[in-house]
């Protein structure tokens, strides 16, 4: 029988910032604590340092190392988690000095993703990201890497007892990339077969994207109050005014300094965001770091080539806002925006109105009279948007549809002026 009373690892958290950078940062301590707890750690202590310089061999200076060593001993910590990226050499040197496991921010986030992955695609993407992270850390560790799978920062590949020599890992990564290429091709085919306009929910992790999608679409997508609860993309049809609709996808939440390994591995998933015509950027307006979180999302959007998409900002959780001034400030900072509560439904009508306005600009509502012999034109209209009605009229087809403005312009010779309107 498995032991159900396995104790959680006791983690000591270390936040280090260069003094010239620290002034502009929102408090990172609370976020690191949430990440560590999400990974299953019990927090034994924490320390924050502002440093003038970083030690190239140990990341922190000798005085800081000695103080940290004493704190680890006093708290009985099993693991030290740094809120920064450590080089392989820094990680090894710190482990030797502190005599406990040391992981960095990237390893912590990868560990959480490994726990959250449920679909075959998600597991493939996480394993590729973890192996990419592991490769430069093989040097000098030898058989020590066989301990993979023993706790936070080591889940994933180790659970399958994967051999950790470079050739084996490289071969495995090639297979994973090949499998993910098939996933990417499959997703591309699915996108090509969709009709209508697509929007994507983006935002900082735990901003309420899945809850918002459930409210907009009347669906039951899993929504939990925890970091990275959604890894696999979910798409739902959202109905708007006058029978119009938009396909809205929900995908992985972003975070400050999202590991590059994850961005690369989740290319197929994040493609849903890059290919969307509209972004619904969900912002947790109860967070004191709301503006910094929005900026972190913009960084990731830039990395995946989606920064230039038309965007509606969704100021979520207004039911929990205590300071109306903060909400007004965010409304002035982010435009166009809708203040909503995905939990209570307050303000959703305003968001739907903004989405309908965008759709009207993007997809004008038109009537076409097309000769029945022009079958390719008829098929193009039928598959380029939302068709409300079609009927034969002598030798012509009368079609009422809402289609992409560029396509509508190219087919303007078939538009019936008396029936054309844009709402």
Average pLDDT estimate for 209-217: 92
Residue 32: the pLDDT is: 92
Write out pLDDT tens, residues 279-337.
999 999 999 889 999 999 999 999 888 988 999 999 999 999 988 898 999 999 999 99
The number of distinct structural domains making up the chain is 4
Which pLDDT band holds residue 224 (cuts at 50, 70, 90)?
low
Would the pLDDT of 214 be above 50? Answer: yes
pTM of the predicted model as reported, rounded to 2 decimal places: 0.79
Residues 347 and 377 grouped into a single domain: no
Q: Do the domain assignments include residue 423? A: no
**pLDDT above 50 for 105:** yes
Q: Among 160-164, 251-255, 292-296, 322-326, which range has the highest average pLDDT?
A: 292-296
The answer to the question of residue 2 being in a domain is no
Torsion sign over Cα 57, 47, 74, 4:
negative
Question: Domain check: are 316 and 265 in the same one?
Answer: yes
The mean predicted confidence, pLDDT, of the chain is 84
Domain boundary among 163, 187, 211: 187
Bigger pLDDT: 171 vs 3: 171
Query: Residue range 355-362: average pLDDT?
Result: 87
* Together in a domain, 122 and 20: no
Say if residue 320 is in the same domain as residue 228: yes
What is the pLDDT, as a whole number, of residue 143?
41
Residue 223 has pLDDT above 70, yes or no: no
Structure-model confidence comparison of residues 150 and 145, the more confident one:
150
- Let me know whether 96 and 237 are in one domain: no
Residues 233, 218 share a domain? yes
Residue 180 lies in a domain: yes
> Does residue 5 form part of some domain?
no
Tell which wins on pLDDT, 80 or 222. 80
Range of the domain at 295: 195-361
pLDDT above 70: residue 216: yes
Are residue 276 and residue 354 in the same domain, yes or no?
Answer: yes
List residues bridging with 337 in a β-sheet. 313
**pLDDT surpassing 60 at residue 148:** no
Closest C-alpha to 306, from 274, 267, 340, 341: 274
Residue 108 is assigned to a structural domain of this protein: no
**pLDDT for position 130:** 92
pLDDT reported for residue 116: 82
- pLDDT (0 to 100) of residue 398: 92
Q: How far apart are CA 58 and CA 51, in angstroms?
A: 13
């Amino acid at each position: 029988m498995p032991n159900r009373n396995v104790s959680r690892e006791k983690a000591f958290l270390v936040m280090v910032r260069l003094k010239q950078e620290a002034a502009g940062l929102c408090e990172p301590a609370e976020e690191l604590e949430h990440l560590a707890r999400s990974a299953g750690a019990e927090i034994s202590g924490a320390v924050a340092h502002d440093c003038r310089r970083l030690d190239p061999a140990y990341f922190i200076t000798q005085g800081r190392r000695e103080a940290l060593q004493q704190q680890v001993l006093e708290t009985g910590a099993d693991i030290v988690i740094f809120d920064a990226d450590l080089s392989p050499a820094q990680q090894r040197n710190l482990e030797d000095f502190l005599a406990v496991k040391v992981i960095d921010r990237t390893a912590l986030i990868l560990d959480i993703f490994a726990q959250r992955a449920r679909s075959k695609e998600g597991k493939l993407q996480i394993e590729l990201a973890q192996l990419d992270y592991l490769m430069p850390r093989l040097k000098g560790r030898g058989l020590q890497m066989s301990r993979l799978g023993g706790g936070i920062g080591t889940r994933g590949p180790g659970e399958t007892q994967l051999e950790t020599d470079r050739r084996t890992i490289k071969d495995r990564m090639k297979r994973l990339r090949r499998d993910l290429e098939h996933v990417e091709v499959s997703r591309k085919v699915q996108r090509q077969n969709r009709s209508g306009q697509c929007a994507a929910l983006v935002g900082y992790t735990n901003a309420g994207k899945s809850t918002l999608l459930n409210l907009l679409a009347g669906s039951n997508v899993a929504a939990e109050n925890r970091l990275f609860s959604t890894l696999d993309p979910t798409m739902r049809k959202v109905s708007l005014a006058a029978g119009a609709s938009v396909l809205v996808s929900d995908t992985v939440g972003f975070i400050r300094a999202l590991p590059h390994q994850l961005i690369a591995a989740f290319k197929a998933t994040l493609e849903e965001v890059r290919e969307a015509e509209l972004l619904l950027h969900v912002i947790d307006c109860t967070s004191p770091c709301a503006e910094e979180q929005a900026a972190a999302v913009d960084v990731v959007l830039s990395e995946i080539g989606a920064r230039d998409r038309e965007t509606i900002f969704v100021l979520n959780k207004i039911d929990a806002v205590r300071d109306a001034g903060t909400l007004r400030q965010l409304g002035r900072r982010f435009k166009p925006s809708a203040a909503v509560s995905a939990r209570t439904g307050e303000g959703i009508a305003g968001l739907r109105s903004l989405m309908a306005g965008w759709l009207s600009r993007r997809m004008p509502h038109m009537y076409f009279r097309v000769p029945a012999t022009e079958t390719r034109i008829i098929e193009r209209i039928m598959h380029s948007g939302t068709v409300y009605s079609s009927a034969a009229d002598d030798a012509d087809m009368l079609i009422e549809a809402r289609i992409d403005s560029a396509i509508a312009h190219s087919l303007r010779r078939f538009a019936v002026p008396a029936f054309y309107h844009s709402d």
